[in-house]
């Protein structure tokens, strides 16, 4: 496994692989890898001959009061995990390598951003879309892999690739969970023991909401109210609860088709997100 830091170097690695007829699977991350990231790498490894992993903590997607400086980083650990999982090359650029001057332009996302995480993080998804577009143009993979835990991000990236006719397939992989149901996240390390013991109730609430939908309930307001009741018992506070169409992320008071139940919950030092996607016709 190689580690490269320059854009030219990763391009040369990919070009060389393509010239020998290899297909390219790409997994973009911000590092501090966990089992969720490993599942993305394994999916890329299964589908493709050559796997590229990027590790880049993107400053554009952090607000002024968010946790950019304390976002967990451990490259040596990440390198070991990536090698064991079957990565061929890690692209590990610096901020100046990705943004050598003030960016003269960026992507402005206009659909699907005024809900869920976007409603409380203005500009966040502009930063996500901009860095993902740059990474896709740099690596130019056949397929890129993202986790469904960040379902809003996944939907926006899928819509972006479609809107700009980017020749890459976006593959959404199922959320990887702890045995008790808590979604794997790099930010879980910030939970106290008591918070960690309590946190699986987020997924339990989402499953109960999905059960109501499968039983025939189509009122968005009712489902939201039921979720809120269940989450009131926790020691943290709700950032948002919503039920939306997916992947269009539109609000409709009567649910139909594929919908996402989503929650963000704030503890003392960690903000957790989770979701559950249900098809009204029965396909999960």
Please report, in range form, the residues annotated as the binding site: 30-37, 61, 147-150, 153, 176, 184-187
Active-site pick, 37, 48, 124, 171: 37
Instruction: Give the sign of the dihedral formed by CA 254, CA 124, CA 158, CA 284.
Output: negative
The answer to whether 124 is a known catalytic residue is no
Decide if 53 contacts 80 (C-beta within 8 A).
Answer: no
The first and second tokens of residue 136, run together, are 């896709």
Pairing of strands 271-279, 258-266: antiparallel
**216 dihedral zone (left: phi>0; alpha: psi -120 to 50; beta):** left
C-beta pairs of 163-167 under 8 Å, 24+ apart in sequence: 164/133, 166/133, 166/136, 166/137
Binding-site positions for beta-alanine read 61
Residue 247, preceding bond cis, omega within 30 degrees? yes
- DSSP 8-state code for residue 20: T
Binding-site positions for ATP read 30-37, 147-150, 176, 184-187
Catalytic residue annotation: 37
């Amino acid at each position: 496994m190689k580690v490269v830091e320059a854009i030219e170097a990763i391009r040369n690695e990919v070009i060389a692989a393509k010239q020998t007829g290899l297909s390219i699977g790409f997994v973009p991350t911000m590092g501090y890898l966990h089992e969720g990231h490993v599942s993305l790498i394994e999916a890329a490894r299964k589908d493709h001959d050559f796997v590229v992993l990027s590790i880049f903590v993107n400053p554009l997607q952090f607000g002024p009061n968010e946790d950019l400086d304390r976002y967990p980083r451990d490259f040596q650990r990440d390198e070991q995990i990536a090698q064991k999982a079957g990565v061929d090359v890690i692209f590990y650029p610096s901020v100046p390598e990705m943004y050598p001057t003030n960016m003269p332009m960026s992507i402005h996302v206009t659909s699907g951003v005024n809900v869920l995480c976007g409603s409380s993080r203005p500009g966040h998804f502009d930063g996500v879309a901009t860095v993902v577009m740059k990474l896709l143009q740099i690596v130019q993979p056949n397929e890129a892999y993202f986790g469904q835990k960040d379902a809003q991000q996944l939907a926006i990236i899928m819509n972006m690739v479609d809107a700009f006719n980017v020749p890459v397939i976006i593959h959404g992989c199922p959320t990887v969970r702890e045995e008790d149901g808590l979604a794997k996240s790099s930010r879980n390390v910030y939970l106290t023991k008591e918070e960690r013991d309590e946190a699986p109730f987020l997924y339990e609430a989402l499953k109960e909401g999905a059960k109501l939908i499968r039983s025939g309930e189509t009122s968005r307001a009712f489902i939201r109210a039921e979720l809120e009741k269940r989450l009131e018992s926790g020691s943290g506070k709700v950032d948002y609860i919503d039920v939306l169409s997916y992947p269009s992320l539109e609000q409709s008071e009567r649910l139909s088709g594929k919908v996402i139940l989503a929650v963000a919950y704030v503890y003392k030092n960690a903000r957790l997100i989770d979701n559950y996607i249900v098809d009204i016709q029965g396909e999960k």
